[in-house]
Structure 1
Amino acid sequence: MKYGCCVNMFGNKMDPVGMNYIGYLAESGYDYVELPLAQIMELPTEKFEQLKETLKKYNMNCECCNNFFPASVRLTGENTSLNVIEDYIRNACSRAAELGVKVIVFGSAGAKNVPEGFPEEKAFQQIVEVLKIADQHASYEGIQIAIEPLNRMESNIIVNLSDGKKLMQAVNASNIKLLVDYYHFTVEKESLDTIIENGPDIIHVHFAEPEGRIFPSGILNEYRNFFAALNNVGYDSRVSIEANSKQVRKDIGNGLAIMKNCIEN
């Protein structure tokens, strides 16, 4: 198993990508950093080169990107443009490939949420079309796409693993699979059986303590059971902590140790 962290959770206006935290991950023993693709796309060339140099400096790989689409690139509703969407996807996949990204996470509630009054089934078909386009460009760059169900407090479409599986099957592309996020999974009160049912299609995992969506503060049976279910279906790829923090440097180190203990012991 490889261990990573989503540093955009600590980002701010001066550092929306979370570049300043990459060194902390390296010091704490993480295997990779997960960076926000939408924010990376906003970086001017000079800043993007600085990001690449920072990764090189700390010998830290960016194997995954979350935040595929910004809210400004509408994927559902009347105000969508496939030309705009495809241009964004092409450029985003190109930048991700420059960083060595292997998996792009598709959650993007702000971009995909269904406008009030718009038919949900039509919105679903729009998302299917978007992911078919994304598959073409991601596949070309050697990148997989992981559909991330987001709980219904954040999103009004694709809120659980069953929804994600339905979307994956509708797209019908071998390069597009599923992500399970323990926080969203718990908020939606999903059963561990859904992990067993969808195990072969899970290619990425996010983890956080559900209460407050913070770094894990202790070793709980619920955590062990979650990771045991993943182990039972043969999952051994990557898991990223995606959590809030008020004491980042401390939490980054402690969180990794706790997560490893839950998985390996």
Structure 2
Amino acid sequence: MAVPIDREATMLGVVWRDLTDASAVRDAGADFVEPYVVGNYVRVEDDVVTALDPGDGLHPSFVVLFAGAVKLSVPDASPDLFASYLDATAAALAREAEPGAFVVLGSAGARNIPEGLDRAVAERTFLQRLAVARDAYAAVGLELLLEPLNPGESNIARSFKEAVELLDSAGLQDVRLVWDTYHAGRSDEDLAFVADHVDRIAHVHHSGPDRLPPSRAPRESLDALRVVLDRGYAGHVSLECDFADVSEVADSLAVVRAYLGQEPANA
């Protein structure tokens, strides 16, 4: 039987697109809300970056970092847009970040390699811009994390193993990763490799297959969390799901908390 997890140490949050619902998500039992950066803290229109100020309070993590217009793998993409985007997001997030907060680089639209572009050139460009972004956010107290996606959504860092190898090739071992169980399920992950490199993981995202909330997903889909929890991961876990509405959040949180404690789930 799996070893019970210390539920007091495992903070359970919810990724949520629109911060106008943040209070309702917290009221449903989330320890924290993980908001989208794009749309809440910054907007890009016609290559003009506008910083926003939602004033929702402090958050330990943020997701959907780069707007699609900010091309991270294209050498001739506007350096001015990239620089202004970093300045705007760093300033906006610094106001509402808890000490030690993470900002997650998933953002397939921004990072994907366009057809016809030499892959080696694109990867080098991506890694260079990732390092610049890491330093820009670190200057305001934020840690940049790279989220491995899946081959259906991205053509770079398409699995945990590929992301580790890509970072290592550029000497960026200090850039930590997100373990996302949805992407892992669509990436044919080498789970033994993930477990052996759990020290590279700073944050976890979870959903059932097809982004189902845990309250509607097969209970065995929660076993993907054990890959890292049973090897010592003790950080935050965020549910990143296609919730029908806020009313589904409480049941899903109850299911996950029951699973983590190996108690009977009654949701």
Q: TM-score band (shorter)?
A: 0.7 to 0.9
- 1:171 offset after TM fit, Å? 4.5
* Alpha-carbon offset, residue 175 of structure 1: 4.9
Residues 143 and 236 of structure 1, relative CA distance in 2, 3 Å threshold: same
Once the 2 structures are TM-superposed, how far is the Cα of residue 127 of structure 1 from its aligned partner? 0.8
Q: Which residue matches 2:202?
A: 203
* Residue 140 of structure 1 pairs with residue 176 of structure 2: no
Deviation at 1:146, TM superposition (A): 1.2
Write out aligned runs for 1:28-47 (5 A).
28-39=28-39, 40-42=41-43
Name whichever of 111-120 and 230-239 sits farther off: 230-239
1:22-61 alignment, distance < 5 Å: 22-39=22-39, 40-42=41-43, 48=53, 51-52=54-55, 55-56=56-57, 61=58
Output the CA distance in 2 between the equivalents of 1:170 and 1:96: 29
TM-score scaled to structure 2, two decimals? Answer: 0.85
The answer to whether 1:66 aligns with 2:59 is no
2:12 to 3, 21, 26: 3
Aligned-pair CA distance for 1:174? 6.1
CA contact 1:135–1:173 (8 Å) conserved in 2: no
Figure out how many residues of one structure are paired with residues of the other and give that number: 244
Please name the residue that 2:90 is paired with.
93
- Separation (CA, whole Å) in 1 of partners of 2:235 and 2:259: 16
**Preserved CA contact (<8 Å) 2:104 2:146:** yes
TM-aligned CA deviation for residue 28 of structure 1: 1.6
Deviates more, 1:82-91 or 1:142-151: 82-91
CA contact (8 A) 2:106 2:146 kept: yes
SS in 2 for 1:42: strand
Q: Is the 8 A contact 1:203 1:237 kept in 2?
A: yes
Aligned to 1:163: 162
Would the aligned equivalents of 2:177 and 2:202 in 1 still touch at CA under 8 Å? yes
1:70-104 C-alpha deviation (Å, 9 max, x unpaired): 01111123541333212211221221111115001
The match for 1:228 is 226
Shift of 1:232: 2.5
Counterpart code for 2:121: K
1:172-213 CA distances to partner (integer Å, 9 max, x unpaired)?
346521111110100112142132122001001111111x31
In structure 2, distance between residues paired with 1:254 and 1:234: 26
8 Å CA contact retained: 2:148, 2:158:
yes
Gap regions ≥5 residues in structure 2: 1-9, 45-49, 263-267
The superposition leaves residues 119-155 of structure 1 with CA deviations (integer Å, 9 ceiling, x where unpaired) of 1111110111111101211111121111111111111
The residue identity in structure 2 corresponding to 1:257 is A
Aligned mates of 1:86, 1:263 — CA distance in 2: 42
Q: Residues 182 and 207 of structure 1 are in contact (CA less than 8 Å); yes or no, is this contact kept in structure 2?
A: yes
1:237 aligns with 2:235: yes
Separation in 2 of the partners of 1:184 and 1:119?
A: 25
Cα offset, 1:38, TM superposition = 2.1
User: Secondary structure of 1:190's partner?
Assistant: coil
Aligned partners of 2:104 and 2:147 also within 8 Å: yes
| Bigger fraction of residues in helix | 1
Are the counterparts in 1 of residues 181 and 225 from structure 2 also a CA contact under 8 Å?
Answer: no
Q: Determine the C-alpha separation between the residues in 1 that align with 2:253 and 2:173.
A: 31
Letter of the 1:41 counterpart: V
Identify the residue that residue 246 of structure 2 maps to in structure 1. Answer: 249
1 CA distance for matches of 2:137 and 2:26? 27
Distance 1:244 1:97 in 2: 28
* TM-score for the superposition, normalised by structure 1: 0.85
Instruction: Please give the alpha-carbon distance, in whole angstroms, between the structure 2 residues aligned to 1:170 and 1:38.
Output: 29
Counterpart of 1:179 in structure 2 is: 178
Taking the aligned partners of 1:183 and 1:122, their CA distance within structure 2 comes to 29
Aligned to 2:189, the other structure's residue is in SS state: coil
Deviations 1:219-250 (A, max 9, x none): 623413x222212221111111111122x122
Bigger shift: residues 123-132 or 227-236: 227-236
Distance (Å, rounded) in 1 between the aligned partners of 2:90 and 2:165:
24
